[in-house]
Structure 1
Amino acid sequence: MKRILSLSYDDLPSHLRTCLLYLSVFPEGYEIGKDRLIRIWIAEDLIQCEKQGESLFEIGERYFYELIDRGMIQPVYKRWYYDMTENCRVHNMVFELICYLSCKQNFVSILDHVHHTFPSKEIIQRLSLQNCMVDHATHRATMSMQEVRSVVVFPSAVNILPALASFRVIRVLDLQSCCLSQGYSLKYLENLVDLRYLGLRDTGISQLSREIGKLQFLQTLDVTGNEISSLPSTVVELKHLMCLRIDSWTRAPCGIGSFTSLEELSTLCIQDSTDLIEDLGNQTELRVLGIDCHTGWNFKRFEKSLVECLHKLQKIHTLSISVVGECKLDAWVAPPHLRSLEITGCCSSTLSAWLNPLLLQELSFLSIEVRKIRQEDLEILGSLPALVYLDVEVGNQNHGILRRLVFHDCSFPCLVHCVLRGYIGPVAFQQGAMVKLERLHLAIPVLETREIAGGFEFGLGNLPVLQDVTFLLRRGGAGEGEVEEAERALRRAIEMHPNHPTLEIL
């Protein structure tokens, strides 16, 4: 089996072989985050720019998916979103091979309860600490950290991580999920002047030192999952920063507009002014953006600034906006490369103004709130060619629909998961609509459905691959008998469906 897998490995281009070997830093069976992996590849210079203007991350994504296509790694999908690979795993046979090759080539040195792969000369280039065993003390005493380029530490091994002062040329320091609130210190972090990747996610820290501004080559900083109330102002001195991940409760300093290479920023909290939004407008390389806004101070000014900012961000493909207050995005036109859009708290008056199916050929995830939804809006959504996940909430009862919404033939050709919430009216699914739909969550106004549609027949039998259905009955004004009638009709429709999908009525 090793010989067979070796043939597949040898058939890889040299750059993919190197990227694959790097996966040996993770434990066997570990679920590896796609974005985390690609950012580390970039920090290690394992990804080379192929043409001017192309993002290193996009090249890394190509590497990642090519390894999947060649069967060297296994994709892990979101449970409810089948078209998006968030993570990957390495099959145990492939894992054994790359661990063997990593040791043979002195590519990665591993410490865990199974592997003790250390080079004979004890010169370590990449160090993976996976398990804190007593008999590792001897190894640690003889390890030289002078040439270590990359250190990835897992929670059970944080106690054997050498002091940061031991490292001289380190580029990657990944301590994700290691508890640093007690014990291990980040003292001398500012001395790691070659550091490109700093992963401190879920480490229990409560602050970052002002000295972090000295890490002039830092490309990725991830401090999510901690109780950090604010970032030091020196963060804006990190001129090469490409990815900044913080929590929505972590205040970012003014001056974010000084970054020149920023591609990912999430989640930025905007509370008391539009200065941060105006800074964002200068980040024209942004591909991923998440913002959490509080607009009580001046929502009209905020709305204008946000729309102006979004118009400038034409490379955005993942956008998440959460607003506490009042905001409309009717003046915005979604950019053509958008793949994922999630907007909560903003109620748009109409979808036709900013969703153009002819431009949005890549949009696969959409979660939005609207004041009302009309048949023409539904047809716009149904024309999005790549849409896999849809969540629409109609937010105002005064704009309720007075007629049935019809999902026509050939609409929503790729949709797998559909959620229709809020003050949605009666619906009907025609033959040929939503041919790939597996999960449906539907709010049903009992009285309106009886009065407008004359009953509770929605055409569920026209959804050929339906597997899971959730109905939320809006009982407002309906008697107990009418609610029971609705429940009986819905259960009967599910029983008659050829797939016999699971049913939950709320």
Structure 2
Amino acid sequence: MTESEISKETKNKIPEILWQMCGGLPLAIVTMAGHAACNTDKLATKWSEVYNALIPDSGKAIGLDGVTKILNHCYNDMPGDIRTCSLYLCIFPKGRSRKRLTRRWLAEGFVCEKNGLSAEDVRRKIIRAVEHSSIGKVKSFQVHDMVLEYIVSKASEENFVTVVGGHWLMAPPSNKVRRLSLQGGDLKHKKTMESMNLSHVRSLTMFGSLTQLPSNSLKFGIVQVLDLEGCKDFRQHHAKEICKMLLLKYLSLRRTDIDKIPKKIGKLQYLETLDVRETNVTELPNTICQLERVENILGGNKRTRKALKLPEDLKKGTMKTLRILSGIEIVEGPAGAVADFHHLTDLRKLNIKTSGDLFRELSSSIEYLGSYSLHTLVIDDESSEFLKSLGALSTPKFLNALELSGKLVELPGWITELDALTKLTLSVTALTADALQRLSQLKTLFSLTFSLTAAEQDPETAAIIEENKEHSSGEIIVPSGGFENLKLLRFLAPSVPLLSFPENALPKLERLELRFSMLEGLYGLENLAELKEVHLRVHDEAGEFTQSLVEDLASAAREDGNCARIIVDQYH
């Protein structure tokens, strides 16, 4: 039998075997399907052996014990590194963001970028994606309750993770705790922890209030990962205690009440990730520049549009390992942060907020890194003065994600030369027929967003948008041809003009998203051959015309079985 014949027979045989094995139970089917997807080279005879081992009495319907056997088989069949990453999932109550998870894996040393292991390897096994990013990557995940219960049990059995609180009743560990996940609870759980040997905790994750921690818990000497995201009752003395955890590699204080980073953070010589997003921290002390291993500094608050000021000492050429600078403020004047990033030759993502006049150093840095290492560039320019200068840059040829916010009237000429660009977000002020025509030539573009936040609504911005509409006779027509690989198109603004999609427009578009208070019209959806879903987010105070228009669109989609699914919800 030839290799192709074996492959064909395997593909034909596996679904039947899996269906019999799983007895029609959804969890068993999904788990075994993921297992099969990771073992496409396994012969049908081998699958038969698996079937006979797991279901010796094929005449009986599979029950919960059978599902447990399937889970156990899939777990034991995983490579060691993926099995370790799977056990780590029980640290989170049910599901969390992909980036948070992968950064934690990296900090613990379970994976490294060089070996190519990603969340996808585990996802195909045991987790379910619940939200995708604009370029199709898993943004957040969820674990089935029964799968999570199995993982918690395994993690406890192997003394890999100790979970306190939450939905799980776990016996206190008989030996030293290595990784502790405190998932909420009462005084009973606090007393349970006080009886544990916590001197060897190297990873501490908390959900809820810091008052649940036993005394001196933040004085663990060998903690490498401290994740307090969303914790309440954070006080400044907690920050001081954290600065004594000299082996820390990963520190997340996201969505806590911290408002100032102590100068002694410079003592954390092993720190790789500092996350202070959605906090009241608006500047970092100069001592942060002493951290020679730091790779990710994540700051800023999208909701309040506040950003993080970097220290002047960054000019001295330290922190050369930085890969991500996100939510950083660049302002002009002696009190402003530095704008020279030439020495950050490993920088892959730069997310900045600017205001004031032109910044020669910043322009030069972007130009230099854009041809060196920079893959993602996000610029939020309130004054729009810096945006006007971007056209003079040489092409940042390695960019695969670009976001420009502000009063963007003309597109930089080099945008159409970005051969690797997959994700593009622009201000609605750039929404013109000419801009769409130029952007339609980007062959690698996967996601395109035109966005305008409520904070950007001012008379000048409104005038620019109105002028753009007049130049297009009040109607935005997406050009035919072009946009060869675009799968996601989004318009996020208080007022969305009449949108029209002619024949042969957007040949691969799968999802269209609109968020608005007023929608003037939407025509030609039937011309989008691959369109699967239209998501309309309507402001709860939208006018009667807009509400009626949305209702008509949704009704027409329900009546036409061949039309894309239309999802309607509200926002405030």
Instruction: Give me the TM-score of the superposition, normalised by structure 1.
Output: 0.79
Specify whether residues 36 and 132 from structure 1 end up closer, same or farther in structure 2 by C-alpha distance, changes over 3 A only: same
Shift of residue 153, structure 1, vs aligned partner:
1.0
Partner residue, 1:202: 255
Whole-Å Cα distance in 2 between the matches of residues 131 and 494 of structure 1? 42
2:367 is aligned with what amino acid?
A: H
2:373 aligned with 1:281, yes or no?
no
Q: Does 1:41 align with 2:94?
A: no
Provide the C-alpha distance between the structure 2 equivalents of 1:283 and 1:145, rounded to a whole number of angstroms: 38
Percent of aligned positions with the same letter in both sequences? Answer: 23
**Alpha carbons of structure 1 residues 18 and 494: separation in structure 2 relative to 1, 3 Å:** closer
- C-alpha RMSD of the superposition: 3.8
Q: 1:386 to 1:9 in 2, by over 3 A?
A: farther
Q: Is 1:258 aligned to 2:324, yes or no?
A: no
The Cα shift of 1:457 comes to: 9.0
Aligned to 1:476: none
Alpha-carbon separation, structure 2, partners of 1:489 and 1:226: 40
Asked if 1:98 is matched to 2:163, the reply is no
1:271-322: per-residue Cα shift (whole Å, max 9, x none)? 2249745432322212222111111xxx2x42x4333221222333332211
What is the match of residue 243 of structure 2? 190
User: 1:145 and 2:212 equivalent?
Assistant: no
Higher helix share: 2
Give the structure 2 partner of residue 108 of structure 1: 161
Are the structure 2 counterparts of residues 154 and 201 from structure 1 closer, same or farther at C-alpha, using a change threshold of 3 Å? same
Q: Which residue of 2 aligns with 1:23?
A: 89
Give the Cα separation in 2 of the matches to 1:392 and 1:102.
Answer: 44
2:141 aligns with: 88
Distance 1:134 1:278, change over 3 A: closer
The 2-side partners of 1:174 and 1:36 are apart by: 10
Give me the whole-angstrom Cα distance separating, in 2, the residues matched to 1:322 and 1:183. Answer: 31
Q: How does 1:264-413 map to 2 (within 5 A)?
A: 264-273=324-333, 276=337, 278-295=339-356, 299=357, 301-302=358-359, 304-314=360-370, 315-325=373-383, 326-327=385-386, 328=388, 329-332=390-393, 335-345=396-406, 347=408, 349-356=410-417, 359-361=419-421, 363-368=422-427, 373-375=432-434, 377-381=436-440, 383-391=442-450, 395=464, 400-401=470-471, 405-409=477-481, 411-413=483-485
Relative to 1, partners in 2 of residues 1:459 and 1:278: Cα closer, same or farther, differing over 3 Å? same
Equivalent-residue separation in structure 2 for 1:19 and 1:457 (angstroms):
45
2:426 aligns to what SS in structure 1? strand
> Aligned to 1:2, which of 68, 82, 86?
68
Distance between the aligned counterparts of 1:241 and 1:334, measured in 2?
28
Q: CA deviation at 1:36?
A: 1.6
The whole-number CA distance in structure 2 between the counterparts of 1:223 and 1:350 is 32
Q: Take 2:437 and 2:342, find their aligned partners in 1: how far apart are those partners?
A: 31
AA aligned to 1:380 is: L
- Aligned to 2:392, the other structure's residue is in SS state coil
The 1:463–1:26 alpha-carbon spacing in structure 2 relative to 1, beyond 3 Å, is same
User: How has the CA–CA distance of structure 1 residues 164 and 232 changed in structure 2, closer, same or farther, with 3 Å as cutoff?
Assistant: farther
Alignment of 1:161-172 (within 5 A): 161-164=214-217, 166-172=219-225
Change (3 A) 1:43 1:461: closer
CA distance in 1, matches of 2:154, 2:522: 61
Residues 201-210 or 404-413, more deviating: 404-413
Q: Deviations over 1:24-43 (max 9, x none)?
A: 1111x2x3122222222122
- Give CA-to-partner distance per residue, 1:331-389, whole Å, 9 cap, x none: 235544434322111525235433325x125x134234555734475243353434233
Match of 1:429 among 501, 510, 517: 501
Aligned with 1:439 (options 503, 506, 512): 512
Contact 1:205 1:228 in 2 (8 A): yes
Kept in 1: contact 2:339–2:361 (CA 8 A): yes
Q: CA deviation at 1:112?
A: 0.9
The alpha carbon displacement at 1:165 in A equals: 5.6
Name the structure 2 match of 1:55.
Answer: none
1:381 partner amino acid: S
Q: Residue 467 of structure 1 aligns with which residue? A: 534
Q: Does the Cα contact within 8 Å between 1:364 and 1:388 map onto a contact in 2?
A: yes
- Partners in 2 of 1:422 and 1:136 — Cα distance? 48
Structure 1 equivalent of residue 227 of structure 2: 174
Number of matched pairs: 465
Distance 1:490 1:25 in 2: 42
Q: Distance in 2 between matches of 1:76 and 1:261?
A: 33
Task: Identify the structure with bigger relative contact order (alpha carbons < 8 Å, sequence gap 6+).
Answer: 1
Q: 1:469 touches 1:501 (CA, 8 Å); kept in 2?
A: yes
Residue 152 of structure 2 aligns to a residue whose secondary structure is helix
Equivalent position amino acid for 1:230 in 2: E
Can you give the 5+ residue segments of structure 2 that lack an aligned partner in the other structure?
Answer: 1-66, 301-305, 453-460
- DSSP-derived class of the 2:137 partner: strand
Q: Is the 8 A contact 2:428 2:493 kept in 1?
A: no
By how many angstroms is 1:163 displaced? 1.7
2:123 matched to which residue of 1?
Answer: 68
Q: Which residue of 2 aligns with 1:475?
A: none
| Shift in Å, 1:264 | 1.1
Residue type of the partner of 2:141? C
SS in 1 for 2:118: helix
Aligned equivalents of 1:197, 1:368: Cα separation in 2: 34
Contact 1:401-1:424 at 8 Å conserved across structures: no
Q: Is the 8 A contact 1:356 1:380 kept in 2?
A: no
Q: Which residue of 1 aligns with 2:267?
A: 214
User: Quick check: 2:105–2:111 contact (8 Å CA) kept in 1?
Assistant: yes
**What residue identity is the alignment partner of 1:24?**
C
Residue 425 (structure 1) shift: 8.2
C-alpha change, 1:382 and 1:75, in structure 2 (3 Å) is: farther
For the structure 1 residues 10 and 91, does the alpha-carbon distance in structure 2 shift closer, same or farther, using more than 3 Å as the test? same
1:64 is displaced (CA, Å) by 0.7
The alignment partner of 2:78 has SS state of coil
Whole-Å separation in 2 of the counterparts to 1:102 and 1:493? 50
Deviation at 1:107? 0.5
Counterpart in the other structure of 1:480:
none
Q: 2:187 aligns with which of 131, 134, 138?
A: 134
Aligned counterpart, 1:77: 131
Q: 1:110·1:130 contact (CA, 8 Å) conserved in 2?
A: yes
Q: Does 1:120 align with 2:174?
A: yes
How much does 1:155 deviate?
Answer: 0.8
Counterpart CA distance in 1 for 2:191 and 2:556 is 68
- The CA deviation at 1:222 is 1.0
Q: For the Cα contact (< 8 Å) 1:341–1:365, is it kept in 2? A: yes
CA contact (8 A) 2:202 2:223 kept: yes
Conservation of the 8 A alpha-carbon contact between 1:103 and 1:118: no
